[in-house]
Structure 1
Amino acid sequence: MYNLKIRNGKIIDFEKETQTICNIAVKNGKIVCIGQCSEDAEKEIDAKGNIVSPGFIDIHMHEETIGNTIDGDDYDIANKMLSMGVTTCVSGNCGNNRQSIYEFFEFVDRKGAPVNYLSFIGHNYLRNVIGVERYTSATKEEILKMGNLASDAIEKGAIGISFGLEYSPGIKYSEVIDLCNSIKDKDILLSAHYRKDAKYGIDSIKELINISMETGLPMQISHLGSCTAYGMMKESLRVIEEAVKSGVDISADCYPYDAFSTYIGSSVFDDGCFNLWNKSFDSILLTEEPYKGVRCDKDTFYKVRKEYPNMLAVAFVMNEEEVIEALKSPYVMVASDGLYNRGQGHPRGAGTFPRILGKYVRELNALSLTDALKKMTIIPAKRLGLNNKGQIKEGYDADLVIFNPDKIIDTASFDKPTEKSEGISYVIIDGKIALEDNKIENGRLGKIIRKNELSRGGKLYD
């Protein structure tokens, strides 16, 4: 007997780009039958002709601060991830871990989580651990210490190193290279928040390409839209394409919004930023009390920078048409960059994936449904080495999303950044129902996926 059978689901074959109505049967957390699947099941779901997709994989998000939430749960963002169809996500991005990776792993191992987690170890986090200031360059001795800490984290399950070059302007190119070269395990993935955006964006991307070339390690460029969606996107995509064609193992991710978000006290908002973006103070929206919903003027901006440096701010500075251009590129996958403080922040943490399917696929016809789903499933799965996820095939993990392609849409806004999306009827993790009709039924099905469980054979783009 099957544990679960999904009847009348529409399956998209990513290779043939065809759609088929059929049944899917699940047993012991695996897909065991696609077709008639005539055997009985303990639980049946009628998909009613809606899309049955592999669970969405978010290759770039920022994990919770465990136990420090406002909704009575231990998790402040994973529940939002689950509600928008994400079943697996990657934390520790932009050089930062919000807490000790060991504590985070141990907590999820012990209690489970709403989604599956992989994690980078963040370079900037390591700098903080050993006491290197963000405007200061690390010494050889300090780099060696960071290398030992990073190697230990990778040995215990981190999938690689993430960098936040813009967040620590003191980081030299040589520091990145020396740190990578000091890592004992070379089968790792690098991820990087570039050094500077807008007119500096092309040079910043070239720097990341050079890091990949010099270290021989694959590189994931974080949130490409916020790097070059200022009039430079065509050029940045051309540079990436040329690098890929020359053999560099590099790709990027992007979220579907024309505004980025980060801490107001970070170096992103250092003097000169508004000239760089050709914007004024009122392009900055504050997201937390006592300034929630306030657009900055000069006095408010500097006051909040000084008194509330850890407040998340939203910067409306990018061009949406260039964000769309990035998302259409074969070298760019979908990711949320989701981050919340006490339930406040940018709506991308609750709306990214339904927004792609609702606005960019259905309403704007900027992407085909098949291409969009590939950028959310099979492409990030291959990038990460998740060889049993990202496709609907027999033997693959039963992480699935059932959604109505005519109704799916995000509802999270900059006023209400955690609102649940519409059009998703079921989210299934490990063959069990995690979410049904927008209600979380089991929020502890997720687990930590460690590096030794991955298999990254070959380059993403052949």
Structure 2
Amino acid sequence: MYDLKIINGIIIDFDTGQKKVCDIGIKKGKIDAIGNCPEDAKREIDASGKIIAPGFIDIHMHEENLKEGGANPIDISNRMLLMGVTTCVAGNCGNNRQSLEEFIHFIHHKGMPVNYLSFIGHNFLRNAVGSTDRYQKASKNEVEEMQKLLINAVDQGALGVSFGLEYAPGIDLEEVLDLCSVIEDRKMLLAAHYRKDAKHSIPSIKEMMEISKQTGHPMQISHIGSSCAYGMMTEGLDTIQKGINLGLDITVDCYPYDAFSTYIGSAVFDEGCFGLWNKSYDAILLTEAPYKGMRCDEALFHKARKEHPDMLVVAFVMNEEEVIQAIKAPFVMVASDGLYRKGQGHPRGAGSFPRVLGKYVREKQELSLLEALKKMTLMPAKRLGLESKGEIKEGKDADIVIFDQNEILDGATFEDPQALPIGIDYVILKGEVAVENNIIIKGDLGKYISNPLEKTVQVNSLL
């Protein structure tokens, strides 16, 4: 007997690109049979007319701040699950919102709505060893202390190291390479938030490529839209493609919005940023009390930056057509870069994946459904070494999202950044129904996944 059977759903074969209507039988958290599934089941779901897709994999997001939420700290994981994401990668942009040990301990003991992998952030390590001046290079002793912490994190199961070069301008290439020297014999993935955007984006991309070349580790270039979507996207994508052609192991992610979000007190908003973007202060939306929903003028910008440096703000500074251009590139995956603080922030944390499927696939027809789904599932699964995820095939994990391709769309807005998507009927994790009709039924099925790259001989070709 199956634990769960899904009948009459539409599966897209990633190998052939063909759609087919069939049933899926699930046992013990795995896809046991596809096609003719004659056995009875403890529960049956009729998915007539609906797409049965692998659970989405968000290779770039920002985990919970477990100390911020009080008795119920789960915030962004719930938003991830409700938009069809079943596996996430945390610790991006050089930052962890708590120690990796604390994060893993919480998941092991209480579960999570989604599965998690995590980078260990360079900037987090800097703060941990007292290198708190973001404009200064870390000392030799501080680097040595960071190396010890890095080895410990890797031994705990960190996926690799993430860098937030823009957030700490004092970091130089030597510091990055010195830190990574202690993991040269480990199978790791690196990820990096660029050093500078707009006209500086091409040198920034080349620096990230150089880090990959010199360390010998593959590189995930983070959210290229917020780096290059200022008239630089064509050159940026061409630069990356040339590196790939020369043998560098580089992939990229992008979220489907023309605005970025970060803390107003960060170095991103240092002097000269508005000239760089060719925008004025009113491009900045404040997301928290006492200024929630207000656009800045010069006085309010500086007041908020001084008095509320940890406030998340939204910057409407990018060109959407270049964001679409990035998402269509063959080496770019869809990711959210989702981050909330006190429930506020950018709608990408609740809407990215249904937005691509609804706006860019169905409405604008910029991507086929097959292309979009691969960028959300198979590509990140292969990049992360998740051999049992990312496809609807027998023997794979039963992490599944069932949605209506004619209805799916993001619901989150800049005014209501956690609003629910529409058109997603079910989200299934480990063969159990986790979400049904926008209601979380089981929110503790997720586990922490230790670095799967160290368990594989090599990552298969993505393309």
TM-score tier after normalising by the smaller chain length: over 0.9
Identity score, percent: 61
Q: Aligned pair in 2 of structure 1 residues 47, 67: CA closer, same or farther (>3 Å)?
A: farther
Q: How do 1:37-76 residues align onto structure 2 when only pairs under 5 Å count? A: 37-66=37-66, 68-69=68-69, 73-76=72-75
* Counterpart code for 1:87: T
1:101 aligns with 2:100: yes
Match of 1:446 in 2: 446
**How big is the shift at 1:247?**
0.5
* Counterpart code for 1:81: M
Q: Which ranges in structure 2 are unaligned for 5 or more consecutive residues?
A: none
Distance 2:208 2:57 in 1: 23
**How big is the shift at 1:164?**
0.1
TM-score by length of 2: 0.98
Distance 1:461 1:439 in 2: 34
Q: Contact (CA 8 Å) 1:53, 1:400: kept in 2 or not?
A: yes
Distance 2:91 2:457 in 1: 19
* Counterpart code for 1:410: D
Q: How do 1:21-420 residues align onto structure 2 when only pairs under 5 Å count? A: 21-66=21-66, 68-69=68-69, 73-132=72-131, 133-183=133-183, 185-420=185-420
Distance 1:197 1:173 in 2: 17
Distance 1:445 1:252 in 2: 29
* Counterpart code for 1:251: T
Deviations 1:122-175 (A, max 9, x none): 000000000112111012221121111111101111110000000000001111
- Provide the alpha-carbon RMSD of the alignment: 1.1
**How big is the shift at 1:454?**
4.7
TM-score by length of 1: 0.98
Q: Contact (CA 8 Å) 2:336, 2:348: kept in 1 or not?
A: yes
Distance 2:117 2:457 in 1: 14
Deviations 1:429-450 (A, max 9, x none): 0000000000000000101001
**How big is the shift at 1:67?**
5.0
Secondary structure of the structure 2 residue equivalent to 1:42: coil
Secondary structure of the structure 1 residue equivalent to 2:43: strand
Secondary structure of the structure 2 residue equivalent to 1:2: coil
Q: How do 1:424-435 residues align onto structure 2 when only pairs under 5 Å count? A: 424-435=424-435
* Counterpart code for 2:308: Y
* Counterpart code for 1:118: L
**How big is the shift at 1:182?**
1.9
**How big is the shift at 1:74?**
2.5
* Counterpart code for 1:84: M
Q: Aligned pair in 2 of structure 1 residues 460, 274: CA closer, same or farther (>3 Å)?
A: farther
* Counterpart code for 1:130: V
**How big is the shift at 1:227?**
0.2
**How big is the shift at 1:49?**
2.1
Deviations 1:229-269 (A, max 9, x none): 00000000001111111100001000000000000000000
Distance 1:88 1:228 in 2: 27
Distance 1:318 1:459 in 2: 33
Aligned length: 461
Distance 1:448 1:459 in 2: 23
Q: Aligned pair in 2 of structure 1 residues 454, 357: CA closer, same or farther (>3 Å)?
A: farther
Q: Contact (CA 8 Å) 1:68, 1:76: kept in 2 or not?
A: no
**How big is the shift at 1:460?**
4.0
Distance 2:40 2:73 in 1: 37
Q: Contact (CA 8 Å) 2:130, 2:142: kept in 1 or not?
A: no
Distance 2:134 2:56 in 1: 34
Secondary structure of the structure 1 residue equivalent to 2:42: strand
Match of 2:458 in 1: 457
**How big is the shift at 1:69?**
2.8
